[in-house]
């Protein structure tokens, strides 16, 4: 195993870890809302929850007082556990480059499988997260992508109507790309470090 090539692999994993962290904290969906009464603000979906952009007070006008769009506490905890476990997996991928564990009659390289597994799981989290967010966005009556005029109902003496423009920003596409990158890095780890066996 070529030491220089091992360090190249470690550097590639470190790049993946950096884009993972950046994309995790970047917005995955944005709705720019403008209203003469409610003011202007952005409703933003992050992997770890919803930033209501100051419109949370108006969500209580919904039939279930805004519980339609609330993110369950257990889901927020789960996503933070995933974040920590993924960083740990990438750290294992950097440190334990030569170590193997016996599983199903084979010796599996810790580095290869840890990095590849993080990539697969991040793709699953990104897909499931956006599907979950889509249901919450629909509950708000906001468009998922594009423009719409949204009636939030009456608040005191005012009728709250929003002019909304929604889109999926770069952060979400970076998350998908990072998942694919880490998966491919795990798959081609042996080629990068110059070892064909596990």
List Cα–Cα distances, 24 to 1, 53, 84, 111, 169, in angstroms. 33, 19, 11, 22, 13
Given this model, what pLDDT does residue 180 score? 98
pLDDT tens track for 14-69: 999 999 999 999 999 998 888 776 677 788 889 988 776 666 655 655 555 555 66
167, pLDDT greater than 80: yes
Given this model, what pLDDT does residue 57 score? 57
The pTM score is: 0.84
d(CA 99, CA 93): 10
Given this model, what pLDDT does residue 196 score? 45
**Residue range 3-53+68-193, CATH number:** 1.20.140
d(CA 124, CA 129): 8
């Amino acid at each position: 195993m070529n030491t220089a090539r091992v360090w190249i692999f470690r550097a590639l994993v470190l790049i993946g870890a950096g884009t993972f962290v950046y994309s995790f904290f970047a917005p995955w969906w944005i709705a720019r809302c403008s209203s003469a009464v409610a003011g202007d603000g952005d409703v933003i979906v992050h992997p770890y929850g919803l930033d209501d952009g100051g419109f949370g007070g108006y969500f209580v006008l919904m039939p279930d007082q805004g519980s339609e769009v609330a993110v369950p506490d257990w889901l927020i905890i789960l996503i933070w556990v995933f974040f920590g476990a993924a960083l740990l997996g990438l750290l294992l991928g950097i440190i334990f480059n030569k170590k193997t564990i016996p599983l199903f009659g084979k010796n599996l390289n810790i580095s290869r499988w840890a990095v590849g597994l993080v990539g697969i799981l991040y793709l699953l989290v990104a897909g499931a997260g956006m599907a979950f967010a889509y249901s919450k966005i629909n509950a708000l009556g906001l468009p998922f992508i594009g423009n719409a005029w949204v009636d939030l109902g009456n608040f005191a003496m005012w009728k709250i109507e929003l002019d909304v423009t929604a889109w999926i920003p770069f952060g979400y596409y970076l998350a998908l790309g990072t998942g694919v990158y880490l998966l491919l890095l795990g798959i081609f780890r042996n080629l990068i470090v110059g070892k064909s066996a596990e």
